[in-house]
Chain A
């Protein structure tokens, strides 16, 4: 393979990116060296096993990926803003919508949600960390390495170009012989291992590490949604692992699981993909529901209405989510009976979802609704998501779907589900838990700009897509003729996407501004909230709670706070056992990345040599007898005194 084939050449935009990436890397390395921050980075962040720091790294990576996926989206909008545009050619457009989809789902939505879960869940259950802190670090680094591997594809070797669904036979070597779709198979496999480990980690954490007295029905709703999400992860991700393994075998070793030749069955890929892919939608949406519930309860200053039915609704949605995958291909020639059954199961999801909407509305009712930025996101979610929901029911009706399938109507629908359902939630969660992570609030005024620009832009971008879809425009078309009459709709949509981008810019500016100027005196409970994470300092100390809290009821902190029982006695302090930092996760993940890279290019000898690194890492890990360390009482006392004033 010549260097010319190794690097993607010939496209000025990609060439510019190559230069920009190179310069940024050099700049970053120079900057860190100049500031003498390498050691700090290594010991405070790269080797950390602290769930809060890992969460913050997830969030940072997620925001970065949001930028990358967003740029992809903007390029697509620019290319389709007018008929016969010439910004991107067909191949480039195909690569961009593929990476947009993969990045937004797996490298933006997932890490942002898992990041917030990481920061918040142990605090909400009164734990000092997750059950397996080192595994947690490994999860993060596997995700991060996978994201980087996926992202370099557009400058080295070429991006995947078969859509985020990567349908076979198209995604097979027969029709896409380049390395692009190898990147898809390998990097998602690596990220998937990390996610699976996260799922296991949170299931165990929530089962085993709740504070004394916190029985199941006393858990905060966000913990419930995280728990159920983690169960779906454990159930669904192995399916994707197997599908990707078959894909890898097909592409790298010439097997015929999904090919046209030699009796392969592409329909098998569709089934396996959506057996994972549909639950995946709920993996990202359910924790978001949990966040909205927390935010709405806090800013309506009321307890969550119908807490128990909310829990049952989430469990019901999770159960049904495993039984609906065929609705992604009603048009594959299934029998009328099959399509009828899956129409029914799909529509049934609307029932628990409707229950949730009404419970949120009734939480607001008779409350005292405070329009903080965080609450605005939660409020805007309700009407926007309703649009996504009702169009979802329309799509669920198999016969009607024959007219919507693969059209822009579908694209509009799932953006109306995923953006209000996930992105709004992440924003709500970031504004809400930011003080707990960093010890200062994000600016409310800039936050409002962020909110209005983004929400208006979102509606302008995606509402027109329903109409072009009903007018016969299928998805993933890089160009269209003027005679179709779609130009006006899509031009409108492109303008909307710019407004949305301005909203994102406002968020970035808000982070910068608040980091520099926001007041550091926020106290432990700046929103007058209800759950345990607000019982400890902001930012939360690395040991979370000096004394593990005891829980008597749901929203225990809220009632104890009113009775003034949140104080700490000096006599209660005991040395705290904490896990030690570890270099194995990052090194092991890096080895995965190197092996992955070689596999993408099918350099098998090199891949085998590099996999020695993985084996060494795993073996070394088994010899790690570090049992962690204890924080002495003096140190706890000092830290607690800093924010509590004097201890009793």
Chain B
């Protein structure tokens, strides 16, 4: 008996946080910074309200029944009546979930279609096209119109639609910027599409969510939304100061390892688009061999590589470097 009271008490305490989840505005998913993420958050909050009702109904019923019909010391002879079931009751608890599913399904379907396209209000604008190439374990972003390429960060104009054409140079990855929108996989020999819009200038955390080997945990990037003027200025800066991307340099970037940020003139799309094949020649399985002995040593050498590359190629430029890719709100 005491045990049961404790159970109910503790479980209630434990589940309070989930009741509060809806209003917890600090969590990234509940803190959208663009129209697409906002429609996802709206859907999530809508669904949570239903779930809360279900949870409360079941918890209350459960606690009441378990409490009320507990065995007592003095009712040892009490023989509960057999019950076959009750058609009306059973039809009721069949119908209610059906209604809930319908109520959830309609906005879900609407949102699924909605987020596949340029968000409402931006249909007239020509989206900025960015090619995303994910590799082990870095993100490569190509701006074909501007003819520039970045690694592990993207600058985009705020309040303007961006179309990501995504592919992978090898393993399967998933491109996710939670504050701007949902995620989608990147796959070699395939192209997936994603639209994102940032309301206002700001810095947003992005990462790979699909496990793809040793460097996975650090496979992050920053999305920096800027005013259109700042963005144009940044593009011009890159064009005048950054070095040209060469085929050799590109092959080097694709070698497995984590990298810092890089910026280049020209894009690799000139010689290979991984969405249309051609990845094999960059894949060298020997570079993926593991030896527990050398682990630390390897990581060290990667680090020094990074530093050299960064100092050679990084454009020292205010807007792209002022913030790190992290949750600024924490």
The chain A residues found within 8 Å of chain B, CB to CB, are: 8-11, 14, 89-92, 94, 158, 161-163, 167-170, 173-178, 260-262, 266-267, 300-303, 305-309, 329, 331-333, 336, 339-340, 343-344, 347-348, 350-351, 354-355, 357-359, 361-362, 364-371, 376, 379-380, 382-384, 386-387, 390-391, 393-394, 397-407, 448, 452, 455-456, 459-460, 463, 466-467, 470-472, 474-481, 483-485
A residues near B86, Cβ cutoff 8 Å: 306
B residues near A456, Cβ cutoff 8 Å: 10
Question: Which of A94, A339, A366, A472 is within 8 Å of B214, CB to CB?
Answer: A94
Question: Which of A358, A383, A467 is within 8 Å of B93, CB to CB?
Answer: A358
Contact A333 B29 (CB under 8 A): no
A residues near B260, Cβ cutoff 8 Å: none
A residues near B172, Cβ cutoff 8 Å: 167-170, 266
Nearest-CB distance from A636 to chain B (Å)? 34
Contact A483 B326 (CB under 8 A): yes
B residues near A400, Cβ cutoff 8 Å: 40, 43-44, 47, 108, 111
Contact A89 B93 (CB under 8 A): no
Of the listed stretches B150-158, B178-186, B262-270, B303-311, chain A binds B178-186
Question: Which of B1, B43, B181 is within 8 Å of A371, CB to CB?
Answer: B1
Nearest-CB distance from A467 to chain B (Å)? 7
Question: Which of A260, A402, A470 is within 8 Å of B115, CB to CB?
Answer: A402
24 contacting pairs across A/B (C-beta < 8 A) = A92-B292, A94-B211, A169-B170, A175-B170, A266-B188, A309-B85, A347-B105, A351-B101, A358-B90, A358-B93, A366-B69, A369-B71, A380-B7, A383-B15, A383-B59, A393-B51, A400-B47, A400-B108, A452-B6, A463-B14, A472-B207, A474-B208, A479-B217, A483-B327
The chain B residues found within 8 Å of chain A, CB to CB, are: 1, 3-4, 6-7, 10-11, 14-15, 17-18, 21, 24, 26-30, 37, 39-41, 43-44, 47-48, 51, 54-55, 58-59, 61-62, 65-66, 69-71, 75, 78-86, 89-90, 93-94, 96-98, 100-101, 104-105, 108-109, 111-116, 136, 170-172, 174, 176, 178, 181-185, 187-190, 192-193, 205, 207-217, 279-280, 283, 285-286, 288-293, 295-296, 324, 326-327, 330
Contact B59 A463 (CB under 8 A): no
Contact B104 A371 (CB under 8 A): no
Nearest-CB distance from B303 to chain A (Å)? 14
Contact B185 A329 (CB under 8 A): yes
Question: Which of A361, A364, A472, A483 is within 8 Å of B28, CB to CB?
Answer: A472
Contact B183 A394 (CB under 8 A): no
A residues near B115, Cβ cutoff 8 Å: 399, 402
List 16 other contacts, CB 8 Å, given A383-B15, A472-B205, A475-B211: A167-B172, A170-B213, A175-B285, A266-B187, A306-B86, A308-B85, A332-B185, A344-B101, A350-B101, A351-B98, A368-B80, A394-B48, A394-B51, A400-B44, A407-B209, A477-B216
- Give the residue name and chain of the B residue nearest to A397 (CB): B108
Top 10 A-B residue pairs of the complex, sorted by shortest distance between their CB atoms: A402-B182, A406-B209, A399-B111, A306-B85, A474-B209, A333-B192, A10-B292, A485-B330, A261-B280, A390-B51
- Give Cα A641 to B181, complex, Å: 72
- Give Cα A30 to B216, complex, Å: 45
- Give Cα A35 to B285, complex, Å: 51
Question: Which of A405, A448, A467 is within 8 Å of B209, CB to CB?
Answer: A405
Contact B69 A368 (CB under 8 A): yes
Nearest-CB distance from B198 to chain A (Å)? 16
- Give the residue name and chain of the A residue nearest to B63 (CB): A383
- Give Cα A369 to B212, complex, Å: 50
- Give the residue name and chain of the A residue nearest to B47 (CB): A394
Contact A260 B283 (CB under 8 A): yes
- Give Cα A347 to B79, complex, Å: 39
Contact B293 A397 (CB under 8 A): no
A residues near B183, Cβ cutoff 8 Å: 331, 402-403, 405-406
Contact A302 B112 (CB under 8 A): no
Contact B283 A351 (CB under 8 A): no
B residues near A176, Cβ cutoff 8 Å: 213, 288
- Give the residue name and chain of the B residue nearest to A303 (CB): B82
- Give Cα A277 to B188, complex, Å: 24
Total residue contacts A-B, CB cutoff 8 A: 331
- Give Cα A343 to B187, complex, Å: 23
- Give Cα A325 to B276, complex, Å: 27
Contact B295 A369 (CB under 8 A): no
- Give the residue name and chain of the B residue nearest to A14 (CB): B292
- Give Cα A382 to B293, complex, Å: 48
Nearest-CB distance from B258 to chain A (Å)? 10
- Give Cα A261 to B280, complex, Å: 5
A residues near B98, Cβ cutoff 8 Å: 351
B residues near A347, Cβ cutoff 8 Å: 101, 104-105
Contact A459 B14 (CB under 8 A): yes
Contact A177 B286 (CB under 8 A): yes
Report if A333-B185 is in contact (Cβ < 8 Å); known contacts: A358-B93, A470-B29, A481-B326. Answer: yes
Question: Which of B104, B174, B215, B217 is within 8 Å of A480, CB to CB?
Answer: B217
Contact B184 A402 (CB under 8 A): yes
Nearest-CB distance from B60 to chain A (Å)? 11
Contact A361 B61 (CB under 8 A): yes
A residues near B4, Cβ cutoff 8 Å: 371, 379
The residue in B18, B55, B78, B90 that gathers the most chain A C-beta atoms within 10 A of its C-beta is: B90
B residues near A358, Cβ cutoff 8 Å: 89-90, 93
A residues near B187, Cβ cutoff 8 Å: 266-267, 332-333
Contact B21 A466 (CB under 8 A): yes
Question: Which of B26, B112, B113, B290 is within 8 Å of A91, CB to CB?
Answer: B290
Nearest-CB distance from A499 to chain B (Å)? 12
Nearest-CB distance from B280 to chain A (Å)? 4
A residues near B104, Cβ cutoff 8 Å: 347, 393, 397
Contact A471 B27 (CB under 8 A): yes
Contact A9 B71 (CB under 8 A): no
Contact B44 A403 (CB under 8 A): yes
Contact A91 B216 (CB under 8 A): no
- Give Cα A249 to B169, complex, Å: 23
- Give the residue name and chain of the B residue nearest to A358 (CB): B93
- Give Cα A477 to B41, complex, Å: 24
- Give Cα A318 to B62, complex, Å: 26
B residues near A369, Cβ cutoff 8 Å: 66, 69-71
Question: Which of B78, B94, B327 is within 8 Å of A355, CB to CB?
Answer: B94
Contact A331 B69 (CB under 8 A): no
B residues near A404, Cβ cutoff 8 Å: 29
- Give the residue name and chain of the A residue nearest to B296 (CB): A89
Report if A406-B113 is in contact (Cβ < 8 Å); known contacts: A358-B93, A398-B108, A471-B28. Answer: no
A residues near B217, Cβ cutoff 8 Å: 90, 477-480
Report if A386-B288 is in contact (Cβ < 8 Å); known contacts: A170-B172, A175-B171, A347-B101. Answer: no
